[in-house]
């Protein structure tokens, strides 16, 4: 099972770190990804990191304000968002894929190929 945490109400321009813990899973054999779904929009992929943490994949054009990392000892995945903006308001999900490597970008963008999903953590950006 995977579980997200760290969401909440943040002001524009602040930085935020979301966490995702994996329990009952072999964390070191899973590629992990972050996704989000804004109100009225489809779920979209953000970033994925390989099982060994050496490779990351970006879905879409968010290459500057979002960063993904993982801590094998803590079995925890992180998403750092710098300079949050109102359009970052969404439910953020993490997911695990039973693969050492991230799926292709098409699949990542749509959340395909991920076997385990968390319940999500809400991020609301507002002043």
pLDDT in tens, 33-92: 999 999 999 999 999 999 999 998 888 766 689 999 999 999 999 999 999 999 999 999
Write down the pLDDT at residue 62: 60
SS3 string, the chain, reads CEEEECCEEECCCCCEEEEEEECCCCHHHCEEEEEEECCCCCCEEEEEECCCCCCEEECCCCCCCEEEEEECCCCEEEEEECCCCHHHCEEEEEEEECCCCCCCHHHHHHCCCCCEECCCEEEEECC
Q: For 81-106, how does the pLDDT look when each residue is reduced to its tens digit (9 = 90+)?
A: 999 999 999 999 999 999 999 998 88
Write down the pLDDT at residue 121: 98
Write down the pLDDT at residue 11: 97
Write down the pLDDT at residue 63: 64
Write down the pLDDT at residue 110: 87
* Higher-scoring residue by pLDDT: 109, 79: 79
């Amino acid at each position: 099972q995977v579980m997200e945490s760290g969401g909440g109400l943040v002001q524009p321009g602040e930085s935020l770190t979301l966490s995702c813990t994996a329990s009952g899973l072999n964390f070191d054999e899973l590629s992990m990804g972050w996704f989000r779904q804004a109100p009225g929009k489809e779920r979209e992929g953000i970033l994925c990191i390989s099982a060994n943490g050496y490779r990351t994949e970006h879905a879409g054009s968010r290459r500057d304000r979002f960063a993904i990392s993982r801590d094998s000892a803590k079995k925890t995945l992180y998403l750092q968002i710098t300079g949050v903006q109102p359009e970052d308001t969404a439910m953020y999900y993490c997911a695990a894929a039973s693969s050492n490597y991230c799926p292709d970008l098409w699949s990542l963008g749509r959340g395909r190929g991920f076997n385990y999903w968390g319940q999500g953590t809400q991020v609301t950006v507002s002043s």
